[in-house]
A = this chain, B = another copy of it.
Amino acid sequence: MDTLPRPGLRERKKRRTRDALVRAALELFTSKGYEGTTVDEIAEAVDVSQRTFFRYFAGKEEAAFAVLEMTEAHFLDLVRERPPHESPLEALRRAVLENWDTLNETIESVIPVELHMRTFQLIESTPALLAVHLRRTAVLEEKLAHLIAEREGLDVDADPRPRVAVAVFSGVMRVTGQRWSTGDDISVESIRTLTTAYLDQVGPALAKGWNVQGKTDGDTA
């Protein structure tokens, strides 16, 4: 209540309805499965009509990504705040980690962190949602590429390096998310650790002779 004047009753009501819809949707999705949940059920749980649901969300999927969207926006802010002396990949890496560290503050007004983590897992394991997730990620990547290009004073379309760097970073993050979601530790610390571990492997993975160089930790092969 210091940046915005005062929301007004109408706005507050809208926000409450929307948050309730998101909560109900995620709760249902994570318990009965995404396809096993109908829009009517979500609407009924919040006591609004199906039509109203579609006034808040363009589709059933959109409700599933509402919270993720908040964290992505926050991530972009964090990248913007990284000091200019850091290399692109370094800045991205620190921003991601910071994003995990501040996750709770970002989303607590809508849902508890635990439900969000289960949602993340659901997305990775539901083909229809995974597809949308990947497309959304592609959009995010484009924004990131522009940010990085700006940081380095380059033209995104003239110099391929911003997009390539982001593609590399993003590709590794995907592998991380996938591995995390199929493991048994669903905690935030778990994905934080995985993130650093995989990012550290980019250099070695691009080296020519894998077997000769060996990895850092014990490896019997």
6 additional contacts, CB 8 Å, given A89-B206, A134-B137?
A134-B134, A138-B174, A158-B221, A160-B197, A164-B198, A164-B205
Q: Is the pair A164, B172 in contact by a Cβ cutoff of 8 Å?
A: yes
Q: Mark A199-221, 1 if CB is under 8 A from B, else 0.
A: 00111111011110001000101
Main secondary structure of the interface of A (DSSP, over half): helix
Q: Mark A10-29, 1 if CB is under 8 A from B, else 0.
A: 00000000000000000000
Q: Determine the distance from Cα of A152 to Cα of B163 in the docked complex, in whole angstroms.
A: 29
Number of copies: 2
Q: Which residues of the other chain, B, contact A132 by a CB distance below 8 angstroms?
A: 131
Q: Is the pair B206, A154 in contact by a Cβ cutoff of 8 Å?
A: no
Q: Is the pair A206, B202 in contact by a Cβ cutoff of 8 Å?
A: yes
Q: Is the pair B131, A219 in contact by a Cβ cutoff of 8 Å?
A: no
Contact residue among B135, B155, B165, B171 (Cβ-Cβ distance under 8 Å from A221): B155
Q: Determine the distance from Cα of A162 to Cα of B205 in the docked complex, in whole angstroms.
A: 7
Q: Which residues of the other chain, B, contact A172 by a CB distance below 8 angstroms?
A: 164, 167-168
Nearest CB to that of A153 among chain B residues?
B221
Residue of A154, A168, A215 most packed against chain B (CB within 10 A): A168
Q: Is the pair B208, A87 in contact by a Cβ cutoff of 8 Å?
A: yes
Q: Which residues of the other chain, B, contact A198 by a CB distance below 8 angstroms?
A: 160, 164
Those of A106-153 within 8 Å (CB) of chain B = 127, 130-132, 134-135, 137-138, 152-153
Q: Is the pair A175, B164 in contact by a Cβ cutoff of 8 Å?
A: yes
Residue of A160, A174, A208 most packed against chain B (CB within 10 A): A160
Size range of the interface on A?
A: 35 or more
Q: Determine the distance from Cα of A160 to Cα of B197 in the docked complex, in whole angstroms.
A: 9
> Is A105 among interface residues, defined by CB-CB distance under 8 A?
no
Residue of A158, A201, A209 most packed against chain B (CB within 10 A): A201
> Is A2 among interface residues, defined by CB-CB distance under 8 A?
no
Q: Is the pair B153, A204 in contact by a Cβ cutoff of 8 Å?
A: no
Q: Is the pair A175, B163 in contact by a Cβ cutoff of 8 Å?
A: yes
Contact residue among B127, B135, B161, B210 (Cβ-Cβ distance under 8 Å from A204): B161
Nearest CB to that of A199 among chain B residues?
B164
Do A154 and B88 contact each other (CB < 8 Å), given the known contacts A127-B135, A168-B172? no
